[in-house]
Amino acid sequence: MEGFGLAYLGAGLGAGLAVIGAGLGIGNIAASAAEGTARQPEATSDIRTTMIIAAALIEGVALFGEVICVLLALK
């Protein structure tokens, strides 16, 4: 029964790392978008659209990472 505790610990750590990575990635996107908007205000709508698409893709990867961690813990 010992192995189950370690599996849950590993799943928690893996999911936490996935969330931290997603947060850092989205933070970098937002910082770059704000800088791009400050430099070129007329391109705000294009920058915003690109930022939202990139953030959604990063969130999707983070969600897959979390699901894989949970599935591996329950195996």
How confident is the model at residue 31, as a pLDDT?
96
CATH code, domain carrying 40: 1.20.20.10
Both tokens assigned to 22: 């997603």
Reported as half-sphere exposure (CB side, CA atoms, 13 A), residue 38 has a value of: 6
Cα angle for residues 10, 1, 63 (degrees, 5° grid):
25
The domain total for the chain is: 1
Q: pTM of the predicted model, to two decimals?
A: 0.81
Contact (Cβ atoms closer than 8 angstroms) between residue 33 and residue 47: yes
Structural domain for 22, as ranges: 2-74
Tens-digit pLDDT string for the chain (75 aa): 566 788 888 888 999 999 999 999 999 999 999 999 999 999 999 999 999 999 999 999 999 999 999 898 887
